[in-house]
Amino acid sequence: MMKNSDWFSSKDYAGEKTFLLWSSLTNTIPTLFWFLLYILKDEFIFEKVFNEINEHFPKEFFDNIQHISFNDNILHDKLICCIYLESIINESLRLYSNSMIMRKSIKNFEFTLHDKRKIFIKKNSIIALYSNIAQNDSNYFTSPNKFIFDRFINKMGENSHGFLPFGSSKSICPGRLLAKSVIKISHYYLFTIYSL
């Protein structure tokens, strides 16, 4: 942006950096919190996660982190194997993420709400959809307000059209895999270094 200062002011540049900072943390930190809360409340879940981390990440794995290059898939492959970590992260995101999906209408459209009120959307209107409405809908998830740690184990919950913590289609968050990896590695450190 700064190379094209004719097009972008320093205020635009600062705004873009603030947006990147906000978007990188808006769901990551709350998910870290809720994940930790749920596993500390339930000894069974705690044991599952603890055993999974110890199985895939022996204590010496991160002791010599220099042996892992950015071109290696070792870390990525190990993170993917942590199915309970992944499921609990997805369940925390499903319950508590605050993402919004923005769309532009391509034609005039009218739809009727459950109470018979009608909403008219004009062509080219910008629409903001709050993903948490779908993520807490019983049409997509059984017991939608209940934390079920293994809901995403079989990947069925993740493929649901109601699971949208990172948006969807061509505007899906490009940092979603990084965010999940950060959460997993953070919990690895909590379990091993701080001996939870």
Rounded to two decimals, what is the model's pTM?
0.78
Contact by Cβ (8 Å): 98, 129 = no
pLDDT above 70: residue 196:
no
Quote the mean pLDDT of the chain: 82
**Total domains, the chain:** 1
Q: What is the mean pLDDT of residues 130-151?
A: 90
| Rounded-to-10 torsion of CA 47, 48, 52, 55 | 60
Q: What is the mean pLDDT of residues 128-157?
A: 86
Packing angle, helices 28-41 and 10-25, rounded to 10: 10
Nearest to 54 by CA among 85, 94, 29: 85
Q: What is the mean pLDDT of residues 67-76?
A: 61
pLDDT above 60: residue 69:
no
> In the Cβ-directed half-sphere of 107, how many Cα atoms lie within 13 Å?
3
Contact by Cβ (8 Å): 34, 96 = yes
Q: What is the Cα–Cα distance from 139 to 120, expressed in whole angstroms? A: 24
CB atoms within 10 A of CB 84: 20
Q: 42 Cβ partners below 8 Å, 6+ apart? A: 149
Domain coverage including residue 50: 2-192
Q: What is the mean pLDDT of residues 79-101?
A: 88
What's the confidence (pLDDT) of residue 60?
66
The 3-state DSSP class for residue 114 equals coil
CATH number of the domain where residue 39 is located: 1.10.630.10
82 known ligand binder = no
Contact by Cβ (8 Å): 87, 152 = yes
Select the more confidently predicted residue: 144 or 172.
Answer: 144
Contact by Cβ (8 Å): 111, 119 = yes
Q: Is the dihedral of CA 138, 141, 142, 146 positive or negative?
A: negative
Select the more confidently predicted residue: 87 or 180.
Answer: 87
